[in-house]
Structure 1
Amino acid sequence: MDHIDHSRKGMEGTSIVRNEVIEERHREAWNSLLGIDAQKNQLLAWAALSLRAGSLDRNATAVNRLALVEGPPGTGKTSLARNLGAPLSTIAESAVRVIEFASHEAMSGEHGRTQREVHRILTETVPHLAGADITVLVVDEVEALAIHRGQVSLEANPVDVHRTTDAAITALDLLADICPNVVTVMTTNFPEIVDSALRSRTDVTVAIPLPTKEAVQEIIQSTLKAWSREFPDLKAVIDHPSISSVSEELAAKGIDARQSRKFVLDVLSSDLELASDPRRLTATHLGQAAQRWKGIQ
């Protein structure tokens, strides 16, 4: 089944990479984000309140409908933003659309082109695609658009970098003025280089850390449970006492949420016998793999 909204009208030639109405798969993806309940609740509360405040004076309330999600790679920031619309649709009792702007794709070496593209997407394309729908706009890797101007040398970097930051901030301000039905969630792996003027405009900053030992364990057990639907013998591994020590070792080595989710797959695919018959997987295999794990090199 094709889940993507392929009515490409208004998206051609832009850096919009996602335009779809929230479905059950988004809810499943939201529920699969484990170990960050506090951050999920914070972002959801902000989004719901921002929409309720849509008719109020933005200058008086300081509600810009703008959030920043920051943290190391692989911690679930983009997934959090992309799937926020699932619980938001329940609260709003309405369909919710998600639009994703891949900011790095808007960059151009041609003088002035990036600023024009950013302004056009945020003030024309996004409002057109959103229409009257409640919409979550995801701006991934926002540092590509709004690098901290205090850390950029005009001698070492083109003036376009500074102008692009100005253009992005101006366009986001205008989007907030003209689209009270749109909440914008920006993500970054590098919060220290996001421009301070943009950071000061955000209503909320949600920091996603590397997973704790408890979160790693929850993710691994959740992954094993998914595998056990096809291979029931794996149910014996899910609650094996050694899973706790496996998780502790991986967390101590700095494993992220994405790598935690892939850990079972990595173990199964590293051995031909296990790959041929995943029912052979044991807690011992996981323990040995955790001891060898060195992260992404």
Structure 2
Amino acid sequence: MKLKESLMSSIVTEKPNVKWEDVAGLESAKEELQQAIIFPLRFPQLFQGSRRARRAILLYGPPGTGKSYLAKAVATEVEHTLFSISSSDLMSKWSGDSEALVRQLFELAREKKPAIIFIDEIDALCSNRDGGPGGGNEDTARMKTEFLVQMDGVGKDNAGVLVLAATNLPWSLDPAVRRRFQRRIHIPLPDLAARKQLFQIHLGDLGRQCSERDLEELARRSEGFSGSDVATAIQDALMVPIKKVHMATHFRKIPHAGAEYYTPCDKTDPGAIAMTWRKVPPNRLKEPPLTAADLFVVMQHVKPSVAPDELDKYVAWTEQFGMEGA
């Protein structure tokens, strides 16, 4: 019962509110997930006899490309019980507890099916058992064996249970674990069109300050960026108005919401008042708008987080074991 109670906290009770259209690009990956998860729930008559729904899908690719975001979109869309699992949920210092936790996880998922078990960074749990780096000791080997048995061992009926996993290191997975995943989908860096969509999504209403041409130029300048890198660049850009307030030596009064507010200005502007942010009333500050020029300045200083030579490893692994998700 204690093991069961510890796993109950991994059940996601609130929907993440991430829609499919919030995921830029990755059309093949979205189609595969919809066919594997949503279709069996909405059209069960299609999956009878020899045609069966997917039982396990692996999402792999560079960090920050949207693997976990896809899982959130799945959780928002379907009415499955979602278990969000990390290595800390299944690893225990007590001998025998780790494999018991794995067994209890799958039993709990079968009780609450239809269910999805999402395992982030699965390479931390199921690395190669050949005794090399990351192979682990006897306790972790038993845990990995139990994981394999629970996924599709003899007498284990996992109908209605989907294992959805994500990893940045697919080549470190044990071959037997890799085989269990019927679909292994590469989530690559976003292309030009996807990066443009990412800027639109992350900027939201602020995106109206940018023209179509500005967005296309931002997408062009962000070659090699992951989705996470684009989000970081925009967060940096959103801090530009704050920096302008902090560095301003002059402010001017502007009407806003039926009152007078202070906004930074140049000392040559009409109505400029020599003052710093320290003298601005806290409830009377209006920050300057974010402009496309601010974004371009920020883009000069943001670097991609994924090295080009790392991408070659994903391409080679995809050619041998996976499929493209973009």
Q: TM-score, length-normalised on structure 1?
A: 0.75
Question: In structure 1, which of residues 79, 83, 91 is the aligned counterpart of residue 69 of structure 2?
Answer: 79
Report the residue type matching 2:28 in the other structure: A
Question: In structure 1, which of residues 40, 44, 58 is the aligned counterpart of residue 30 of structure 2?
Answer: 40
**Equivalent-residue separation in structure 1 for 2:217 and 2:94 (angstroms):** 54
Q: Does 1:20 align with 2:13?
A: yes
Task: Give CA deviations for 1:160-179 in whole Å, capped at 9, x if unaligned.
Answer: 23222111111122599434
Give 5+ residue unaligned stretches, structure 2: 246-284, 307-326
Give 5+ residue unaligned stretches, structure 1: 1-8, 90-94, 229-233
Partner of 2:227: 257
Question: In structure 1, which of residues 129, 149, 153 is the aligned counterpart of residue 129 of structure 2?
Answer: 149
Greater displacement, 78-87 / 113-122: 78-87
Question: In structure 2, which of residues 190, 201, 217 is the aligned counterpart of residue 222 of structure 1?
Answer: 201
C-alpha change, 1:190 and 1:290, in structure 2 (3 Å) is same
In the TM superposition, residue 198 of structure 1 has moved relative to its aligned partner by 1.5
**Equivalent-residue separation in structure 2 for 1:117 and 1:206 (angstroms):** 27
Contact 1:267 1:285 in 2 (8 A): yes
C-alpha change, 1:62 and 1:272, in structure 2 (3 Å) is closer
C-alpha change, 1:151 and 1:77, in structure 2 (3 Å) is farther
Partner of 1:164: 143
- Give the greater-gyration-radius structure (CA): 2
C-alpha change, 1:10 and 1:114, in structure 2 (3 Å) is closer
Question: In structure 2, which of residues 179, 184, 188 is the aligned counterpart of residue 209 of structure 1?
Answer: 188
Cα root mean square deviation, aligned: 3.2
Partner of 1:6: none
**Equivalent-residue separation in structure 1 for 2:47 and 2:200 (angstroms):** 41
Partner of 1:196: 175
Q: Does 1:236 align with 2:209?
A: yes
In the TM superposition, residue 195 of structure 1 has moved relative to its aligned partner by 1.3
Higher helix share: 1
Contact 1:70 1:205 in 2 (8 A): yes
Q: Does 1:127 align with 2:113?
A: no
SS of 1:72's equivalent in the other structure is: coil
**Identity across matched positions, percent:** 21
Partner of 1:111: 95
In the TM superposition, residue 259 of structure 1 has moved relative to its aligned partner by 2.6
Equivalent residues, number: 263
In the TM superposition, residue 288 of structure 1 has moved relative to its aligned partner by 1.2
C-alpha change, 1:274 and 1:67, in structure 2 (3 Å) is farther
